[in-house]
Structure 1
Amino acid sequence: MTPEEILEKIQCLATENLNASVITESKIRERVDYVCRCMSNRAGVRLLMSCLLGKLDKPHVDPRKPYTEIGGADSFSGRTYDERYLTKFINEHRLPVNPTTAFLTPTLRNIDHPLTTDRELVGRPRDLYKKTLELLEDVALQRIKADVLFVETVRVLILLRDEKQARMASLLSALERTEGALPLASEAIVTLISQHLACKNASRLPVLVVAAAYEVAGARLSESMLPLNSHNAADLQTGSLGDVEICLIGDDSVVTAYEMKMKRVTQGDIDVAVAKIVRYPNKIQNYLFITTDVIDPIVAEYATTLYEKMDGTEIFILDCIGFLRHFLHLFHRIRTDYLNAYQTFVLNEPDSAISQTLKEAFLALRQAAESDE
């Protein structure tokens, strides 16, 4: 069988056995459940799937040797199986796994030795990597067959996917029941989004705060927003000028760039922005930093001194909540449209950028706010 056929067979068996584990050994079953449900780090489950696929495609290989640098006839390229076959399989079945390969994560990059349990992988949580290596050893020492372990892994991922969908459907249904009530006031929306920004791992949210504003008001301003880059893409890699890039309608030249910071903006940040602007002369008219932290008055003053030196390009620092508050009061009549746009952006982001927990938190916060009203 080809790797694609192996994956489809595993998918069918997992679906057929959805309501009962295919593993009788409780310790192995518990390891699989932990690795699959570890939401803080999804690299473990993707590593496990890649190694199992390699073992099923070439039975002579050692699942603990997914690096060709190890050498020998029993090593293989786990990254090749990961990128060439797993990505499509994961996307087709909407499995709750990171959309990109596990082998480029810092913990799993540039390894030239077998992934045996006597070697500790440096990464968090520690138990994730410990249990993943134990599962690979279980297969290597024939304590469990690779196909059985793979079926159980996919079975748990399907259950996890369906659980997530059910929770989201319930939260969205609860919001629908509040439709027709008095719309949230602008200040109530500010409070709601402030609470969301205060949640853990919320670094992507300030981008969406600004993006939602242009989504609903861009036409009124004769401006449009370029598609957002992925959360972890570097500006040098994408060629972007900022986290949110604004153009005049009918023109794809960036006139305003926004850069988001979940910390204080420094003079070094300003200098990096200047270097970007210099690379694109006569293009950017406005370069705005949006921060969730305190604005240092010395840094803010430094930014304002650059206006003439930059030949009319203005660099300024704005407080994220201040930006949101001013926008909602300025465009008070479309405040609900803004909130809906922000919600859409949040829910459409991949889980690697905004976790499922953070998505559910917003829906729960909104439901509580609208119920109070």
Structure 2
Amino acid sequence: MPVLNRIASYAGEMKGWRRHLHENPELEFNCHETAAFIEARLREFGIEEIHTGIAKTGIVALIRGQGEGPVIGLRADMDALPIDEITGAEYASKVPGRMHACGHDGHVTMLLGAAKYLAETRNFAGTVALLFQPAEEDGGGGEVMVKEGVMDRFDIAQVYGIHNAPNLPLGHFTTTPGPIMASVDTAVVTVTGKGGHGATPHECVDPVVAIVAMVQAVQTIIPRNVYALDEAVISVTMIHTGTASNIIPETGTFTATIRAFNPEVRALLKKRFHEIVAGTAMAFGVTAAVDYDWGYPATINSEAEAHFAASVAREISGDQAVDEYSNREMGSEDFSYMLEQRPGAYLFLGIGPGAGLHHPAYDFNDEAAPYGASFFAKLVEKALPL
């Protein structure tokens, strides 16, 4: 049986929730209407311990079981992306320039589905903490919730989360012990020289050639400073300078995204990036200022909890539909802050073929929601048995 019968019985209701959320996307910490919708559903389920205003619009709701036991945290992110939707769906975003292009509407729906079931049955000993988090895409809402003390305040012992995966077969789960998603840092380098006429470069100090040299040089960090089996990425994604073909500009900037799994490798990348930029600037006679944003850490599953989560997934979808040692992802996720505080695991759930994440044609597959809701519910019943 792929999903719990009771959860399957209100799959249509879950579809309605999800499509309402999809029509009304909100960004970053400004998830006011989304939070109000979630709170209303939770109260309909008979959940009374609801704490709002965490990380501005986040929610922590508690479901008490039928006996004493630890607290299991289940997390769903709530925010959308600044993208114009092109799906043409009848439930497409009503807000120009915003859409749920990463499936957080589906994540909320899966957790609401599990909440409804768990509130009805309470077939567990302990407490479930439902963590509805804003600002995963931008702002680090997971970090803010942790800094505001949710783990200690609600005595959370373990924490779990799911992300949907387009083009993974519907209902298939993947996870892995240890690092599953990379850290992400962003470097913005501003290079200043001496501008002038393009016909007289000898009278100028050209920031353009210095930027070109820096971009080429930072690409040597990974193949020449990082052990070949320690995966890492440095991608220069923006270069901005100049106004006309006959003007050597005064300044220019370039931006890089920098990703790794190992904290020591992450620190090495930062060190070498600064050294190479400074050395290249000296060689070309320019000045260079580096704004290095230390972003989300790597998402690292604890080993025992990853194996436990995979065993629960197999009960939902079967042995052949669960990859317990999947490849790691170079994308990042602020659920990492919660996993730094508590043991737990992050999984991917297949939603079948379709446009990829962050694409304007992306849409969450409503058929996947009962799988995710059933996973959350079954995990609680197995982790907190009566």
- By percentage of residues, which structure has more helix? 1
TM-score by length of 2: 0.25
Considering Cα pairs closer than 8 Å and 6+ residues apart, tell me whether 1 or 2 has the greater RCO: 2
TM-score by length of 1: 0.26
